[in-house]
C-alpha cells in the first residue's frame, strides 16, 4: 500500500504523537547528565529533579523576600494582563470588524488604516508607550492590544465580508434594517469566527506579554524569567517555559472545546485542530 493511503490506528497514533516528546526528553536528560557528570553544580542543563525542586519551591514555598508563592502570583499577574488585553482586542474586533466587513462606508474609512496599522511592529511602539503611559499596567496591556487587535479586526472583517450575499438579501426582503441584520444575521454567524480569532490572537499576545514584563515589572511569568536570567537559573527558567506552554495549550483547547459545544453547526466539517 502506498504511504499516503496507510491509516494510523488509534494506539499507534498515540505512540507516534508521544515519540517526539519522549525523544526530546531523553535527549535532554542524557545531555544534562553529561554536563552534570563534569560539574555537579552546572546551571546550564539542570537535572529533571532539580527543575522539579525549583518548580515546587516557586509553587509551594513562600518566597524568602516577600512571603508570596511566586509561581501563582506570577501566573495570576500574567493571566490578568493577558485576559484584559485579549478581551479588549476581542471587543475591538467585534466593534470594528463587523462594520468594516458589512458597511461599505466604514470599510472605505477604516480598512486601509487598520491594514497599515497592523504592519507596525508592536515592540517598536513600546518605548513610546512607556513615555506616554508610564511603566505601569496600562503600557503592558496596551502592547498586547496593539499587537493583537489589528489582526483580529481583519479576521472578523474578512469573515463578515465572506458571508453569503444571499443571506443579506433575504434578510432585507424580509424587511430587516442594517442594525437588525447585524444582530440577527451577522453576529450569530460570527461568534465561532471570534473564537478562532482569539485563539490566533493568543499566540502573539503571549509574545508581547512576556516582552512587556521583561522591561519593567514587579511580578509576572515573563518578569521572573528575565529576572533569574541574571544568574543563569535554568532550573527556574525551563519549568517556567514549560508552564507557560501548558497554560497556552490549555487556553487554546478550552476555547476550541467551548466553540465546539456552543456552535456545533460551525464545526460540522470535522476540523479538529
Partner 1 sequence: MFRHSFLKMLSAAFAVSVLLTAPGAEAAPKKEFKVCWSIYVGWMPWGEIQNSGLMKKWADKYGISVDIVQINDYIESINQYTAGEFDGCTMTNMDALSIPSGGGVDTTALIVGDYSNGNDGIVLKGKKELADIKGQTVNLVELSVSHYLLVRALDSIGLAERDLTVVNTSDADMIAAYGTPDVSAVVTWNPLLSEIAGMPESTKVFDSSQTPGEIIDIMMVNTEVLKDNPDFGKALVGAWYEMMSIMSKSDSAGVDMRTAMAKASGTDLAGYDDQLASTAMFFSPAEAVAFTEAPALITTMDFVRKFLFEKGILGEGATSVDFVGIAFPGGKTLGDTGNIKLRFDPSYMAMAAAGKL
Considering only 96, 208, 209, 235, the residue that binds partner 1 (CB under 8 A) is 235
Applying CB under 8 A, does 215 fall inside the site for partner 1?
yes
Please check whether residue 59 is in contact with residue 69, taking contact to mean a CB–CB distance below 8 angstroms. Answer: yes
Please check whether residue 190 is in contact with residue 159, taking contact to mean a CB–CB distance below 8 angstroms. Answer: yes
Considering only 17, 27, 167, 183, the residue that binds partner 1 (CB under 8 A) is 27
State the residue for C-alpha cell 515546587: 56
Q: Which is nearer to partner 1, 23 or 246 (CB)?
A: 23
Considering only 48, 53, 118, 180, the residue that binds partner 1 (CB under 8 A) is 53
Count of residues touching partner 1 (by CB under 8 A)? 44
Considering only 21, 179, 231, 265, the residue that binds partner 1 (CB under 8 A) is 231
Which residues does 59 contact at the CB level (< 8 Å), separation at least 6?
A: 69, 71, 72
Applying CB under 8 A, does 10 fall inside the site for partner 1?
no
Distances (CA, A) of 237 to 45, 102, 117, 214, 233: 11, 46, 34, 13, 6
* Contact string (CB under 8 A) for partner 1, positions 166-205, x = contact: ----------------------------------------
76: cell is: 495570576
Considering only 31, 169, 246, 262, the residue that binds partner 1 (CB under 8 A) is 31
Interface positions, 125-164, toward partner 1 (CB under 8 A): 127, 130-131, 134-136
From the list 132, 143, 30, the residue with the least C-alpha distance to 86 is 143
Name the one range near partner 1 by CB under 8 A: 41-49, 75-83, 93-101, 142-150: 41-49
Q: Give the helix ranges, DSSP H, for 118-177.
A: 122-133, 137-161, 165-173
Q: How far apart are CA 146 and CA 57, in angstroms?
A: 35
Please check whether residue 202 is in contact with residue 251, taking contact to mean a CB–CB distance below 8 angstroms. Answer: yes
Name the one range near partner 1 by CB under 8 A: 85-93, 141-149, 197-205, 230-238: 230-238
Applying CB under 8 A, does 18 fall inside the site for partner 1?
no
Which residues does 203 contact at the CB level (< 8 Å), separation at least 6?
A: 248
Q: Which is nearer to partner 1, 42 or 252 (CB)?
A: 42
Q: How far apart are CA 65 and CA 138, in angstroms?
A: 27
Site residues, partner 1 (CB under 8 A):
3, 6, 19, 23, 27, 30-31, 34-35, 38-46, 50, 53, 63-65, 127, 130-131, 134-136, 214-218, 223, 226-233, 235
Amino acid at each position: 500500500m502506498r504511504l499516503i493511503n496507510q491509516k494510523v490506528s488509534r494506539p499507534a497514533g498515540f505512540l507516534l504523537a508521544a515519540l517526539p516528546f519522549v525523544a526530546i526528553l531523553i535527549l535532554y536528560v542524557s545531555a544534562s547528565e553529561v554536563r552534570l557528570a563534569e560539574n555537579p553544580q552546572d546551571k546550564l542543563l539542570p537535572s529533571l529533579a532539580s527543575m522539579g525542586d525549583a518548580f515546587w519551591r516557586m509553587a509551594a514555598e513562600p518566597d524568602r523576600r516577600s512571603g508570596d508563592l511566586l509561581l501563582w502570583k506570577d501566573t495570576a499577574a500574567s493571566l490578568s494582563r493577558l485576559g484584559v488585553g485579549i478581551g479588549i482586542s476581542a471587543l475591538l474586533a467585534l466593534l470594528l470588524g463587523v462594520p468594516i466587513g458589512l458597511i461599505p462606508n466604514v470599510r472605505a474609512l477604516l480598512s486601509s488604516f487598520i491594514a497599515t496599522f497592523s504592519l507596525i511592529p508592536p515592540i517598536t511602539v513600546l518605548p513610546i508607550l512607556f513615555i506616554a503611559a508610564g511603566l505601569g499596567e496600562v503600557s503592558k496591556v496596551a502592547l498586547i492590544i496593539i499587537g493583537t487587535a489589528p489582526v483580529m479586526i481583519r479576521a472578523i472583517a474578512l469573515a463578515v465580508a465572506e458571508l453569503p450575499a444571499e443571506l443579506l438579501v433575504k434578510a432585507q426582503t424580509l424587511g430587516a434594517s442594517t442594525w437588525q441584520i447585524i444582530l440577527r444575521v451577522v453576529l450569530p454567524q460570527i461568534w465561532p469566527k471570534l473564537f478562532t480569532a482569539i485563539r490566533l490572537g493568543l499566540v502573539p499576545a503571549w509574545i508581547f506579554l512576556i516582552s512587556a514584563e521583561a522591561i519593567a515589572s514587579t511580578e509576572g511569568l515573563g518578569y521572573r524569567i528575565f529576572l533569574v536570567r541574571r544568574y543563569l537559573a535554568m532550573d527556574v527558567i525551563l519549568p517556567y517555559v514549560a508552564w507557560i506552554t501548558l497554560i497556552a495549550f490549555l487556553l487554546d483547547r478550552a476555547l476550541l472545546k467551548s466553540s465546539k459545544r456552543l456552535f456545533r453547526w460551525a464545526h460540522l466539517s470535522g476540523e479538529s485542530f
